[in-house]
Amino acid sequence: MEQPYAIEMLNITKRFPGIVANDNITIQLKKGEIHALLGENGAGKSTLMSVLFGLYQPEEGKIRKDGKDVKIENPNDANDLGIGMVHQHFKLVECFSVLDNIILGVEPNKLGFLNKAEARKKVTELSEKYGLHINPDALIEDITVGMQQRTEILKMLYRDNEILIFDEPTAVLTPQEITELMQIMKNLAAEGKSILFISHKLGEIMSVADRCSVLRKGKYIGTVNIADTSAEELSAMMVGRNVNFHVHKEEAKPGKVVLDVQNLTVASNLHKNDAVKNVSFKVREGEIVCVAGIDGNGQTELVYALTGLEAAAGGRIELLGQDITNLSIRKRNDMGISHIPEDRHKHGLVLDYSLEDNMILKRYYEPEFSGKFGIMNKANIRKYAERLIEQYDVRSGQGAATTARSMSGGNQQKAIIAREIDKNPELLIAVQPTRGLDVGAIEYIHKQLVAQRDAGKAVLLVSLELDEVMDVPDRILVMHQGEIVGEFDPKNVTQEELGLYMAGAKKDKVEA
Amino acid sequence: MKKNFLKNSIVQSILTSLICIVLGMIIGFIVLLFINPAGAAEAIISVAKNFLTYNSANMQLKYLGNTLVKTAPLLMCALSVLFSYKVGLFNIGAAGQYVVGACACLYAALAWKWSWLPCMLLAVLAGAVFGAISGILKSYFNVNEVISGIMLNWIGLYSTNMILSNVKEAASPYTYQLTAAGEQALLPTLGLGALFNKNQYVGLALPLSVLMAVLIWAILAKTKFGYELKATGFNKNAAKYSGMAEKRNIILTLVIGGALAGLGGSLLYQTGYEQWQCTHSSLPAMGFNGIAAAFLGGLNPIGTIFSSFFIQHITAGGAYVDKTMYCSQISDLISAIIVYLCGFVGFFKYAMNSRIEKSEAKAAAKEMGKEAAAENKKGGKE
Ligand SMILES: Nc1ncnc2c1ncn2[C@@H]1O[C@H](COP(=O)(O)OP(=O)(O)OP(=O)(O)O)[C@@H](O)[C@H]1O
Ligand SMILES: [Mg+2]
């Protein structure tokens, strides 16, 4: 009889200090299926996949491949069994080329000499076969996250892996890239590869997965056939209650201007053209303005210039009537700018610091935390961190003392959001604040943004997510190639219309 | 929950450091065996014994004193390296900063007849200036601190030779004896010499260097400045994002690192223990040994006190190897091997951690299993 399961993980239990990350979990992956794994932040999805990939040893339970018990002690074992993984946070060597990253560890050689030509041929074939467009000679540090991800996928295919694990692959992608990835996954499954796919986006799961298993707080809740379920049912299974997908908010009552951007120009680090070209707009108190657009159209640079991470090449930025164009980052922070950064590992956190030390990253110099002679007040720091953890429901193994690195991706994000909102800013700049969060947490963050607005603060949201763009803000600005090409009231515009502007097919003259 | 004793990072640091030391000794012994098997055991024992070779307690004390005299400057160099390392900078320039410190205090003492405190402060200043140069090059011109440090090391060495030639004995390449020509610049002995069988070189330097170690520890562990520096070392993008003045911090760190190494120069040469040899064509090992001492001390200022003493101990011990059996460089070779192995602390720590992890996970599992079972009974279903 043919064995229907490619991989079975039976009664897996994995514990970390202070937490049971996986509590007696069983999932079975059929050959050629796309099996989604759904669960709140910190539910234990990444941990379970890391067990399968040999990064962690479970205390209990066993793993079977094609019906036979196997031991996976490290990623090499996993690779030998044909298991590959694209991690939530990519693991590529920044200063190596795409090709070098793909062949790293399995370099083809002749008499000990590297034979790159052969590798290049195989990589090119694979990339053509599955529509994974890459430039094999580009350096990782120079390419977009979408391309980095394709590199990760090619890495698995190059190793002839049959079982592919995708840990939140779409969190960092643009809608276009997501559509492409979904197609690639379908192609792979059609080829007979079996795929485990983690995502918080119910729409994606509904559109590509065959079955979905749900975890909650380390426990297994159940597995359903996608054909027999709905997004609502899935989210209820995952959070344990019904989730509101729509943001409920009153009419905005904009007041005086908080942020006034005039003819701002920012040079690009990637190409000769300016990344932001002569951009002007205003954000008033009591309103949420969203900068929408396809990734890489100058949003990142715009935010860098507003927050001071990069200098403006021209133009003027005013906060509450004061010129801040050339002020330091610290001064801008103190004047009331909060910034939820795009890249939580690069800017948002010191991963080797404890959660509490990260919570005070923007305020450590205030008298409450560092007293006479600059001596830090550990008791106050602990108290403050514990309040934020409680209030914003940041989950981790050891509370305030947990090393940030060991926290789940979504909870790292929540910690940053807690820190930035709690500073009680005049202007909150939130760049993709819900990236990697579960639907429950997204609902919560959106409520927080609206609450900030209702408290009379100005909110500048940068988002790639069309649902978020349509739902949360009071005004939408579309950016294309460094320019603002349209301004809309979300109530009077359709997603299709926005799409045309984002792609550069339509363009208005916008007055600030 | 019960904690694994080995998981404690302090215990780990100490243990890995000891492993390095033992391994260094063994390899040193093997090398000696190759050169001349007859005397190997005896030689390695004399390295380990150092001042204990002497039979009389008085002599032992006196030579222990000598080892301590050289421990103080080594500790300063180690602190210099350690402090910079916390910010992610590798201060190989400590060697040169140490030399210019020595130059500044000797010149001020011999040529200008300054008294000890101003001489010492000038040494600190000289080291700080060298550190500042590296720091400015790093933060404004993106010049790697290792490169500029190495260059400055040589610049420091040859300028020192040149400057101190003005205050050297006519018939030798050595500077004037401080005891004769610059007595006013000798560091106060605080009566400490009496404890070491009237060793006149032991004095202020030792307690001062230990005090500096404690100070550096406090800065790193307890202060706002330490918080900033470590954040910059771990993730300089996040440091910038949070508004820390990273350029200023890089410069400040190297200035402090330079000042510490410069002070090291003063703490040796102002005891009168050694004269500067104006024909030096290589840098004194002190600064480089500081790197080993910093790592052997687990990059902990307090640990560094002990590692500095140990490294000085075997370096001095090398002098007692039987020169009729081995050539005269052997002492340096053996201590160098041990010092070299000391650099492997990080590696052993890693190896140890990954071994512990497995056994610890199992132990924790049992404990947690019990707790979870108890909780399940209590909680029931949510
Ligand atoms: N290496 C580790 N050491 C200690 N605790 C850990 C470690 N890795 C994960 N954890 C803890 O285990 C729990 C599960 O984490 P995991 O990363 O599996 O969550 P997740 O379901 O992937 O969440 P997210 O959607 O936020 O990525 C979390 O509470 C996390 O803090
Ligand atoms: Mg995860």
pLDDT in tens, B229-273: 999 989 989 999 999 998 899 999 999 999 999 999 999 999 999
- Ranges in chain B, pLDDT < 50: 1-3, 372, 375, 378-382
Hey, how many other C-beta atoms are within 10 angstroms of the C-beta on B323? 11
Counting ligands in written order, the one closest to the CA of A50 is 1
Q: Which atom of ligand 1 is nearest to the CA of A411?
A: 26
Residues of A within an 8 Å Cβ radius of B: 13, 15, 17, 20, 23, 57, 59-60, 240, 307, 309, 328-333, 339, 341, 346-353, 357, 361-362, 364-365, 370, 373-376
Tell whether the model's pLDDT for residue A418 goes beyond 60: yes
Contact by Cβ (8 Å): A392, A420? no
Ligand 1 atom at minimum distance from A45 CA: 21
**Closest CA–CA distance from residue B224 to any residue of chain A (Å):** 5
Phi, psi of B146 (to 5 degrees): -70, -45
pLDDT of B380: 42
Cα A365 to Cα A252, A385, B171, B227, B234, distances in angstroms:
35, 15, 59, 10, 18
Span A249-262, average pLDDT:
91
The two beta strands, A314-319 and A257-267, are antiparallel
- Answer for the pair A474, A495: CB distance below 8 angstroms, yes or no: no
Q: Are the beta carbons of A212 and A37 closer than 8 angstroms? A: yes
Average pLDDT over residues A419-426: 94
pLDDT at B364: 53
At A103, the pLDDT band (50, 70, 90 cuts) reads confident
- A485: distance to nearest CA of chain B, Å? 29
Distance A406 CA to ligand 1 centre (A): 7
Q: Looking at the DSSP assignment, which residues form a beta bridge with residue A266?
A: A276
List CB contacts (< 8 A) between A361 and chain B.
231, 238, 242
Nearest Cα to B98, choosing from B274, B229, B302?
Answer: B274
Output the pLDDT for position A306.
96
Of the candidates B238, B361, B364, which has its C-beta nearest A57's C-beta?
A: B361
- pLDDT category, A139, cuts 50, 70, 90? confident
Query: H or E segment at B228?
Result: helix B224-234
A435 to chain B, closest Cα gap in Å: 19
Nearest CA in chain B to A341: B241
Tokens at residue A244, please?
Answer: 């509101």
Residue corresponding to tokens 């229907």: A4
Stated pTM of the model: 0.83
B227: chain A residues, CB-CB within 8 Å: 357, 364, 370, 376
- A12 membership: H or E segment, kind and range: strand A5-16
Residue type at position B165: S
Q: A461 with A288: CB under 8 angstroms?
A: yes
What ipTM, to 2 d.p.? 0.84
Residue A12 pairs in a beta bridge with A25
Question: How high is the pLDDT of residue B210?
Answer: 96
CB–CB of A223/A212 below 8 Å? Answer: yes
- φ, ψ of residue B293 in degrees (nearest 5): -65, -40
Q: What's the CA gap between A394 and A406, in Å, rounded? A: 13
The answer to whether residue A155 scores a pLDDT higher than 70 is: yes
Residues A244/A267, Cβ–Cβ less than 8 Å: no
Q: What are phi and psi of A163, to 5 degrees?
A: -115, 120
Under 8 Å between Cβ of A200 and A434: no
Out of B223, B369, B382, the one facing A375 most closely (by C-beta) is: B223
- DSSP H or E run through A197: strand A194-198
Among residues A334, A305, A328, the alpha carbon closest in space to that of A317 is found at: A305
CA distance B113 to B5: 55
Distance from Cα B379 to the centre of ligand 1, integer Å: 23
In this structure, what token pair is assigned to residue A110? 């002749």
Nearest CA to ligand 1 atom 17: A408
CA distances from A14 to A47, A205, A398, B88 (A): 8, 26, 16, 35
Report how many Cβ contacts below 8 Å link chain A to chain B. 84
Q: For residue B42, what are its two tokens?
A: 């005896």
Predicted confidence at residue A1, as pLDDT, reads: 47
Lowest mean pLDDT among A40-54, A266-280, A313-327, B365-379: B365-379
From A408, A414, A434, mutation site for ligand 1 pocket: most ligand atoms within 8 A of C-beta:
A408
Of 1.10.10, 3.40.50, 1.10.3470, 1.25.40, the CATH number of B61-325 is 1.10.3470
B45 or A419, greater pLDDT? A419
Q: How many CB atoms lie within 10 A of CB A115?
A: 13
Which of A472 and A496 is assigned the larger pLDDT?
Answer: A472
A-chain residues near B235 (CB < 8 A): 346, 349-352
User: Cα B89 vs. chain centroid, distance in angstroms?
Assistant: 16
**Tokens 């009664």 map to which residue?**
A11
The alpha carbon of residue A102 and the mean position of all alpha carbons in its chain are separated, in whole angstroms, by 23
- Name every protein residue with a CB atom under 6 angstroms from any ligand 1 atom: A 16, 19, 21, 39, 41-47, 88, 395-397, 406-411
Q: Where are the alpha helices (DSSP H) in B235-296?
A: 236-241, 246-269, 286-296
- 3-class DSSP state of A243: coil
Distance in Å, alpha carbon of B216 to nearest chain A alpha carbon? 13
Percentage of residues in chain A with pLDDT exceeding 90? 58
